[in-house]
Structure 1
Amino acid sequence: MDITLIISGGILIGCIIALSWFAGSDAPYVPTKMDKIKEILKLAGDKKTPVFPLIGKKFYELGSGDGRVVREAARLGAKAFGIEQSWIRVLYSRWKSHNLKLNNAKFMHGNIFKKNYKDADIVYIYLLSKAVKRLEKKLSNELKKESVMITQTYHFPTLKPFKKTDDFWFYKT
């Protein structure tokens, strides 16, 4: 077999993997900064347990990207779930969580609009405005009373936030 063909095939496969990392219709891949993640999760959590403010909470990130928000929620005590449409990001997130021994961080491939979130205590969303608007009604109908929803950059068009800090909006059902 010709070495040029092997190298070309490797480059093609690498390009496909790289492009699939950034693919997505509801939001481009833009990670949230770690210092902001820690801040917003502590704001959303229980003030009585400051070291593990999310202990006993079910946390969902809709469009979990590389899984950094889900992993931090798991570190803070939550049973944390990430739902992502890119298989490569799901596999990466699972691998990273496994290496960090975060057994309470789970990642699923799927359509965020077809899942049910009735057991969620906290839902985090960093998607484009069109997706956020679609999720407003769905989450308002599905979530239990006193669940917290956090949106980044784009906010729900009709719900009133109980808190806003930087680019983050906090809502309760």
Structure 2
Amino acid sequence: MSLPVEFTTYNDNSSKTSLAGKILLGVTGSVALGLSVISASFVSPAFRKFCLPYIPATRTQISNILQALEGRRGTLLDLGSGDGRIVLEAAKRNLVAHGVELNIWLVLYSKLDALRKGLANKTSFYRRDLWKFHVGKYDNIVIFGVEQMMGDLEVKFDSQCKNGCNVVACRFPLPNKRPTRTIGHGIDTVWIYEFNSPRRKSLDL
């Protein structure tokens, strides 16, 4: 006596649902990976000796910096240039302006913004560690630092800045050097220093 044979009917809709699920899973994974890579560039500063987070300059800070640069000529370097706005504003005022930034996404954004605003031929942006970047060729330097790093920055400027270099420190002053001028107050304060140290190292640009 033969037993009845049971047949299983497969639903095409379930196969389509399974395929859609795999596609959705792949897309979600790719997006998550991309966001992780991008966010890592912003989070990683917290794991360095000195945490220098990306905080865009306010309009008042930019205005104070530009006031500090009035009458200045030559070259300008923004150490930790972020989205490049200081570099672009300096270029509009006929300074040869460069930015140094470790976050690759901010460097790319700065370059695109300079291109969009017609300032690409007056600006340069480098993806470099500011501690390893020699500042000896610049006539003007802008730095948005944190309090813990200002002493080490002062040592760097003393050893590398050329005679007459104008350093504009924002948010925090240099601890052992008297500013020639102070503009603004509170978080928007900028301190202007003149360095007259001889160059002791060869330029790395």
TM-score tier, shorter chain, comes to: 0.7 to 0.9
Distance 2:149 2:106 in 1: 19
Q: Is the 8 A contact 2:64 2:190 kept in 1?
A: no
Unpaired segments ≥5 residues, structure 2: 1-21, 196-205
1:34 to 55, 59, 72: 59
Q: How does 1:57-68 map to 2 (within 5 A)?
A: 57-68=74-85
Question: 2:56 & 2:43 partners in 1: Cα distance?
Answer: 11
Moved more, 28-37 or 9-18: 9-18
Structure 2 counterpart of 1:168, from 175, 184, 190: 190
Q: Secondary structure at the match of 2:132?
A: coil
**Alignment partner of 1:64: what SS?**
coil
Identify the range of structure 1 (58-67 vs 130-139) with the bigger mean alpha-carbon deviation: 130-139
SS at match of 1:31: coil
Name which of structure 1's ranges 13-22 and 82-91 shifts more when overlaid on structure 2. Answer: 13-22
Partner of 2:34: 13
Q: How far apart in 2 are the matches of 1:57 and 1:142?
A: 17
Partner of 1:89: 106
Cα deviation for residue 16 of structure 1 reads 2.8
Preserved CA contact (<8 Å) 1:60 1:81: yes
The runs of 4+ residues in structure 1 deviating greater than 3 Å are: none
With over 3 angstroms needed to count, the CA separation of the structure-2 counterparts of 1:159 and 1:69, relative to structure 1, is same
Name the counterpart of 1:2.
Answer: 23
TM-score norm. by structure 2 comes to 0.74
Tell me the SS of whatever aligns to 1:151: strand
- Whether the 8 Å CA contact 1:38–1:72 is kept in 2: the answer is no
SS in structure 2 of the partner of residue 85 of structure 1? coil
Counterpart of 1:131 in structure 2 is: 149
Once residues 134 and 65 of structure 1 are traced to their aligned partners in structure 2, the CA distance between those partners, rounded to angstroms, is 20
In structure 1, distance between residues paired with 2:78 and 2:98: 6
Note closer, same or farther for the CA distance 1:155–1:136 as it changes in structure 2 (3 Å cut): same
Partner amino acid for 2:41?
Answer: S
- Which one-letter code corresponds to 2:29 in the other structure? S
Asked which structure has the greater CA Rg, the reply is 2
Residues 150-170 of structure 1, C-alpha deviations (whole Å, 9 max, x = no match): 111111110101111222111
Q: Could you say what secondary structure the match of 2:149 adopts?
A: helix
In 2, are the aligned partners of 1:125 and 1:132 still within 8 Å (CA)? no
The 3-state SS of whatever aligns with 1:28 is: coil
Cα 1:21–1:97, aligned 2, differ >3 Å: closer, same or farther?
Answer: farther
Question: Which residues of structure 1 form unaligned runs of 5+?
Answer: 47-53
User: What is the aligned residue count?
Assistant: 165
Deviations 1:89-138 (A, max 9, x none): 11111111111110211100111111211221110000212322211011
Secondary structure class of the residue paired with 2:131: coil
What secondary structure does 2:153 align onto?
helix
- Once the 2 structures are TM-superposed, how far is the Cα of residue 18 of structure 1 from its aligned partner? 3.5
Aligned-pair Cα RMSD in Å: 1.7
Please tell me whether residue 120 in structure 1 is matched to residue 138 in structure 2.
yes
